[in-house]
Structure 1
Amino acid sequence: MFRKTISPLWLVFFLLPQLSSAEDLTTQKQSSEISEGSIEIEGDSLETLLDRKMKAKGNAILKKGNKTIKAEVIEYDEISEKIITSGITNIALENMSLRGSKLSLKLSDETGQMDDASFNFTPDKKQEKSSIRKGVVVTERSYDFRGDAKAIFFEGENKKRLQSARITTCEADSNDWYLKSSDMQVDSKTDSINASHAVVEFKGLPVLYTPYINFSLNKNRKSGFLSSTFGTTTKSGFDFQIPYYFNISPNMDATLTARYLGKRGPLADGEFRYLEENYSGRNHVQFMSHDESSGQDNRYSLSLKHRHKFGNGWSGYYDFQKVSDDNYFSDLATMITTTSVVNLPQRAGIDYSGDIWKLNFLTEKFQTLLTDSSRSPYQRLPQLKISAKKEYESFTLDLKSQWTYFDRDNKFTFQDDLGVTGSRFSITPSVTIPLTETYGFIKPKISTNIRSYNLNNLNGSTLSESKDIVTPIFSVDSGMYFDRSINLFNQKHTNTLEPRLFYVNIPYKNQSTLPLFDTGLSDLNMLTLFSENQFNGQDRINDANQLTAALTSKLIDSNGTERLSGVIAQRFYFEERKIFGSNINAKKTNSDLFLGAAAKFTNSLNIDGMIQYDPSDTKILRSTFASRYNPEPGKMLNLSYRMIDNIISGRDDLETINLAGQWPLGNRFYSIGRFNYDLKTSQPIEVLGGLEYDGGCWVARTVFDRLSLPTSPVPNYTLFMQIELNGLGAIGSDPNKLNYLLNRNVPGVRTVNEIPDVNRQANFN
């Protein structure tokens, strides 16, 4: 073996004999220490021509920096710094390797050509990012690319142009899909590819053509066309979208989408996002010039959101949402969180948060979409909140105050809605004296609620034009902690017992002449049992002379995992509650009985439940049971039951059963589904079913969704079909909408590419 090292400062010729294995290791180490500007040539034989050319034959190797070239014959011209090889040629770069029949390359400016080439690209795995989605840690993978080309032209450092090329992420023994292009440019510095007249072939069939496409090899953001998406719904027909992504800056981007709906016509969709150190926002606009299905012109949806930090505790925000007509969402949206929207907020505010004082100034209106049950909420024009909290060594002072002017849109009022408007001022100072020890606590609290009203538009009602009311409130919260060690199943556990008592005393105040601007009766549950006021809002404060008692017990293993827990709670009334009148049984001496339990039998199986039981009528008013089995990624079953027997309004009764999950079927197939059924009406609320196929370097998905709409008597049917080509993107339905649909219906679901490889391979057979 002969070796020659050429330095920019001097030329040294030397002859090396064949070395033993140990000497080879030492020599390789010395070679790696050669300066980056040096060139090292090796071969079975070396020839020099005219003192400027070096020719290595047989196992020829040329090294410069992080570049290594291997061929049968390498000829190097020191003056022009040009390399010519013959025979099979391999080039090893930092994250890319190339192989061709011959090579002509000028090292000084990285220009040249390789014929009949193949290549492999391995992105930097350190750039992979992990995020938490619905409680699941998900890693965005970078895929290894490989491909071939008729010729590769080197056009400068890190830049290569491929002629008649194709590229894929499939394994070497699989050619399931390729992206083919007559002209493809690769930038190794940015790990990006630009291709013109590109065709995606799947299983030998062309499935997509685009005159131009660019994408990143390592998930980096880059301006360009995103994968086109298509789908179908019963209300809009075929839905085809072509999005273009603008990577404006590292903290700012935009997406402009041309969308066509088969039954309605073209629609433009634009989104602009920005994120700075002190402010962030998202603006989303949709516009349809003419809806061929409904005959309406100029249909649009507008959403403008912004948050801003001014410094020194001050911040501001606005949230403005508006649509052109009441049926916009039910006609054009497919997500239940959108189709169920009835009130669109239009608000702006300023906040201040300090160590003691907090302030919020808000102005808020709503666009109410007209339905059979529409009732416009009160508008706050404006609202000012000021609060303060100061903790001293032995007591805590607290102050909450609010002034609001309430207005409303009268076109939504009903006969029982008098449309009263006006202002309300409320202030509640309080003092708490907490006494806390390791074994328990006691927290007495004294407060006073003061309200003042100035009303308009009474229209002969019994409400007072102006009214002042003062309500004193006294409460005591207390609890104790006990624990003991027990052996269960030959393992050490800690068993806790936590009793709690909460007493409230509020004198009765007649509030029948006061309006209900923003106030309603809260459900009695495990949380509201320990609140002073059962009403939410400021317009009503209940009278009370009551005690809530609760007992909680937990079983904790030696690792700190809570294996079993249970709680029982009930409220006891010492006086009749006058404020509720005949709405609920105010003569009861005790509330319903609340019981809850949770069990974690194994790390993969959780069960929990809650029951609200009326002992006087021996009737269960509310019950919830849920179980989750998740033995490994890609295997999950959720089963839940929910029942509400509303004692105030029977139309609000609820009884549903929900089954959702994901499970491998073998032979690379995965099932995904959800069945949400209303037992009261004997009708499905939402039904979702889907299949995923794991092709290794690609994934195929088909998902069907039937959704009952609260704004329409006719359900909406949606079919999602998608082929995801790993590393390139998805063809078919919108990935964002499909991922959102799956995560909302099956919490904790993982698509195939989010499942670890070891679990995926177990489903291949």
Structure 2
Amino acid sequence: MQIRFLLALSLLPAFSHADLLDDTETGAQCSVEPPVAIPAAAVTPDSEQLEIRIESDSSDATMNQRAQFDGNVSFSQGSRRIAADKASVDYVEQRLDASGQLVFQDSMFTVTADALTARMQDNSATLSGASYWLHGQQVHGEAKRLEITPDNNLQLSRTSFTTCPPDNVSWMLEADRIKIDSKEEWGEIWNAKLRIADVPVFYIPYMTVPVSDKRKTGFLFPEFSTSTTNGLEFATPWYWNLAPEYDLTLTPHYMSSRGLFLKSEFRYLAGDAQAGQLNLEYLGNDHKLDGSPDRYLYHWQHQGALDTHWRVLANFTQVSDNNYFNDLKSEVARATDNQLSRIGEVSYFEQDWDISTRVQDIKVLGEEELPYRVMPQLNFNYRANDFWQNLDFGFNAEASNFQHQQDEMATANRLHLQPSVTWPIHGPAGFLSSELTLLQTNYWQHNLDRPENQDLDETVSRTIPRAKIHGQINFERNTSLFDSQMRQTLEPQFQYLYVGYEDQSHIGLYDTAQLQDDYYGLFRARRFSGWDRIADANQMTLGLTTRLFDEHNLEQMKFSFGQIFYFTDSKVALSEDLRQERPSASVLAAELDTRIYKDWFFSGAIQYDTHNGDTRKSEFTLDFRPEANKLVQFSYRYVPDLLNSNTNDRVDISQTGLRTTWPLRDDLYFVGNWYYDLKEARSVEAYTGFQYESCCWAVRLSYHYHIKTNYSDEFNPSIDEREQFERGIFLNFVIKGLGGSGPLGVSDMLDEGLFNYRKPLYLRN
């Protein structure tokens, strides 16, 4: 009987878990210790089978009737313990009474009470004048009366709880009654009153909270902000736990300058390995725009595995206008995202081969020219390693159907076959890989009666051979640098690439674009994405990488540079208008990641045109990172001759930036970002945020100033009619343990704004 009673008391920590404390980062620092010593947890087998030991200074028992224990009474079972000044057991009424400095403890929590009465026959108990603490955590509270019902539920009367230290109770929730259902794992609270600084600020006649990690329907913390474009903003998310496998979040978001913005997010699980979500957003009669148009978004994504072989993927997004993400705070994309992806894909995987089919449509916001749709595309890949005399064989086949929304555009069916044979040689000293590939592509092009399509051929068969030899040698030596023992590597590599030439001007451009140039791009076997253009090549790439490792074998520096040398000029361009004289060598691409000294790190990349003597692209960052939450980063980037999609002008980008996060005190953090356009001589973004975080609550106040990405659309045809810059003040507040999500965190503040923080290298501190 006593064993059942002790197990019933173990329901007490259920009230202390769940949403009462979500702070996993600072809980150890802010833990509230009970006023009595915590016994060491016993490492034992199943505690239900353990013997119960009763100790006391004196005892008096009548066989099968009554037992009385006095003086330092202790009931123990494994790691559980009840201590009291005196206790009695009535065997006739099956009742246990204990009083006088009563303490109940196990490895997870401590409860003190004035008195305890337990009816062992129906497994119920009552504690009066109870106080409870969760070991190693912040949650603690009091209850005038705590009852354990026969069905193992808990009822607390005239109770309170908080996550604040006892000597600094910033907030406390008081309630007339709390009922905790152990089976459903929900808590019901009646007449709840929230006190902040001992001042009642909020009254809730009835509310429910989870007492485990189960989700629960209810309001989430509201959000407040103000900005020059949206005015005063207030959002109150409502979470609806529909079923274990799906839920819904509804967010009314009021903007004084625009109106009521309604957002919804429906999430679901489809079996054990599939998941997805559906987002619907709607703003009726946007008062900020001419004509008060309706603005909306719908988004659906799904991915997962049907079984060990089949995979599915779907992603579809549609918005009402080009500036939707620039003006409204959507849950789907950021203001800097300008592409909407619509993809559906089904794949089947085996050990040596896989096959997939997909449809794809991409909408580029702010662009008048629409890209082609892939309706559909079928891919097949086969791999046979060491199929004969250490040779590897690979085969790729792709069949694509390209459609377009504009009737005057050409459409096409494309079949691309690519068999290849590779002879790989790998070893500690380096590698040498030789590859022969045949690129066979067939086109069937349609809608050629239009004048703009008359240069295209109805059918095309293109056969191009490709040969590639890629090798690298690894050298290393022990060296000493700044009185430290180092290991230095020297890794020269080369690649010879030959690609045959064929005139391709009679083929349309359906999914092909120029690839970016960087150090790793020097060793690509192609200049363009897609297969509409295959650039001929007769070239040699030379590259060199050197690394420094410390005595713990941690990389402290990596420097790479390389260049392509053309033996013959390439005759293939994206179009005849873009054909230009190519120099005898590519840009010289170099990258450096290094720890300069102790906590100082430098990262840089540059592409230098050795023919014209100018820089094509460069970016540099200098980091000072003495600790995990301390950062000062200086950055600079330069990109010349970049196309402005709004004006179709060529512009140079030259920007410098400063980003920092620093603790002003143990509980107060500062985060700041500032980016300046050297060409336009103006700030393009500034962010300042202060975050205060105590053991039981956190608040963040931030200011944001940034340039707006504006596109012309049907609502505002002229870009000049839209605000060029936006300013805003944001306030976030969390009460830990009362539905809050724990500490606000500093890392997400670094991601605020147009320019997200990127750790420039993977070198360890």
After TM superposition, the score normalised by the length of structure 1 is 0.81
CA distance in 2, matches of 1:7, 1:191: 23
Match of 1:428 in 2: 418
Give the structure 2 partner of residue 203 of structure 1. 197
What is the letter of the counterpart of residue 286 of structure 1? E
CA distance in 2, matches of 1:363, 1:389: 24
Match of 1:595 among 585, 590, 593: 590
Look up the SS of the partner of 1:70 in the other structure. Answer: strand
Letter in 1 for 2:217: G
Alignment of 1:407-486 (within 5 A): 407-410=403-406, 419-458=409-448, 459-461=450-452, 462-486=455-479
User: Structure 1 residues 640 and 158, CA, compared in 2 at 3 Å: closer, same or farther?
Assistant: farther
Which of 546, 564, 571 aligns to 1:578? It is: 571
Secondary structure of the structure 1 residue equivalent to 2:522: helix
User: Could you say if the C-alpha distance between residues 322 and 38 of structure 1 is closer, same or farther in structure 2, counting changes exceeding 3 Å?
Assistant: same
Per-residue deviation, 1:697: 2.5
Aligned letter for 2:445?
L
Q: 1:244, CA displacement in angstroms?
A: 1.9
Report if aligned partners of 1:387, 1:400 keep a CA contact under 8 Å in 2: yes
Q: Does 1:726 align with 2:736?
A: yes
Equivalents in 2 of 1:291, 1:42: separation in Å?
A: 75
Alpha-carbon distance, 1:178 to partner: 0.9
Deviation of 1:666 (Å)? 2.3
> Structure 1 639/273 Cα, relative in aligned 2: closer, same or farther at 3 Å?
farther
1:364 to 360, 366, 373: 360
- The structure 2 residue matched to 1:283, chosen from 278, 285, 294, is 278
User: Which amino acid in 1 is paired with 2:451?
Assistant: G
* Counterpart selection for 2:342 from 338, 346, 352: 346
Q: Residues 741 and 196 of structure 1: is their aligned pair in 2 closer, same or farther, counting only changes over 3 Å?
A: farther
The answer to whether the 8 Å contact 2:519/2:561 transfers is no
Counterpart residue number, 2:22: none
Do residues 243 (structure 1) and 238 (structure 2) align?
Answer: yes
Q: Secondary structure at the match of 1:329?
A: helix
Shift, 1:399, TM fit:
2.0
Q: Secondary structure at the match of 2:650?
A: helix
1:116 partner SS: strand
> Is 2:388 the counterpart of 1:397?
no
> In terms of mean alpha carbon deviation, does 66-75 or 728-737 score higher?
728-737
> What's the counterpart of residue 492 of structure 2?
499
Per the alignment, residue 132 of structure 1 pairs with none
2:82 is aligned with 1:92: no
Query: Counterpart in 1 of 2:701?
Result: 702
How far apart, CA to CA, are the structure 2 residues paired with 1:548 and 1:192? 66
Amino acid corresponding to residue 605 of structure 2 in structure 1: M
Report the Cα distance in structure 2 between the residues aligned to 1:120 and 1:582, rounded to whole angstroms: 76
SS in 2 for 1:646: strand
Alignment of 1:672-751 (within 5 A): 672-711=671-710, 713-714=722-723, 715-730=725-740, 741-742=751-752, 747=757
Q: 1:303 aligns with which of 290, 296, 299?
A: 299
1:711-733, Cα deviation, whole Å (9 max, x unpaired): 45434444332232333333999
What CA deviation, in whole Å up to 9, does each residue of 1:371-426 have, x standing for no partner? 3x333221111111222222224222222222211112229xxxxxx622222222
Counterparts of 1:64 and 1:399 in 2: how far apart (Å)? Answer: 67
The offset of 1:695, in angstroms, is: 2.0
Structure 1 runs not aligned, ≥5 long: 9-28, 126-142, 412-417, 750-765
Per-residue CA distance 1:659-703 (angstroms, 9 max, x = gap): 223101126311112223333333444332211113233222222
2:670 matched residue in structure 1: 671
Distance 1:99 1:443 in 2: 73
Greater shift in the superposed pair: 391-400 or 563-572: 391-400
SS in 2 for 1:338: coil
Letter of the aligned partner of 2:128 in structure 1? D
Distance in structure 2 (CA, Å) of the matches to 1:706 and 1:514: 47
465-474 vs 511-520, greater mean Cα deviation: 465-474
Deviation by residue 1:491-518 (Cα, 9 ceiling, x = unmatched): 4322211111111222332222221111
Deviation string, structure 1 residues 269-319 (Cα, Å, up to 9, x no partner): 132132643423233333456656667687543222222434463322222
Give the letter aligned to residue 124 of structure 2.
T
Q: Is the 8 A contact 2:629 2:662 kept in 1?
A: yes
TM-score by length of 2: 0.81
Q: Indicate the residue corresponding to 1:529 in structure 2.
A: 522
Change (3 A) 1:336 1:308: closer
Distance in 1, matches of 2:189 and 2:749, equals: 28
Output the CA distance in 1 between the equivalents of 2:467 and 2:737: 63
For 2:414, the aligned partner's letter is R
Counterpart in the other structure of 1:638? 633
2:319 paired residue number: 323
Q: Is the 8 A contact 1:98 1:118 kept in 2?
A: yes
Distance in 2 (CA, whole Å) between partners of 1:332 and 1:736 is: 24
Higher relative contact order (CA 8 A, sep 6+): 2
Cα pair 2:279 2:332 within 8 Å, conserved: no
Matched, 1:265 2:264: no
Deviates more, 1:676-685 or 1:693-702: 676-685
Query: Per-residue deviation at 1:567?
Result: 1.7
RMSD value, Cα:
3.6
C-alpha distance in 2, partners of 1:51/1:358?
Answer: 75
CA 1:118–1:188 in structure 2 vs 1: closer, same or farther (change >3 Å)? farther
Structure 1: distance between partners of 2:195 and 2:429: 70
Q: Match of 2:701, as an amino acid?
A: T
Structure 1, 149-158 or 542-551: larger mean CA deviation: 149-158
CA contact (8 A) 1:722 1:732 kept: no
CA distance in structure 2 between the partners assigned to 1:297 and 1:734 by the alignment: 36
Structure 2 partner of 1:511: 504
In the TM superposition, residue 333 of structure 1 has moved relative to its aligned partner by 1.8
Alpha-carbon deviation of 1:646?
Answer: 3.1
Q: Which residue of 171, 174, 178 corresponds with 2:172?
A: 178
Indicate if the aligned counterparts of 1:162 and 1:183 stay in contact, CA closer than 8 A.
yes
Per the alignment, residue 612 of structure 1 pairs with 607
SS in 2 for 1:474: strand
Q: Secondary structure at the match of 1:223?
A: coil
Task: Using the aligned pairs only, state the percent identity.
Answer: 23
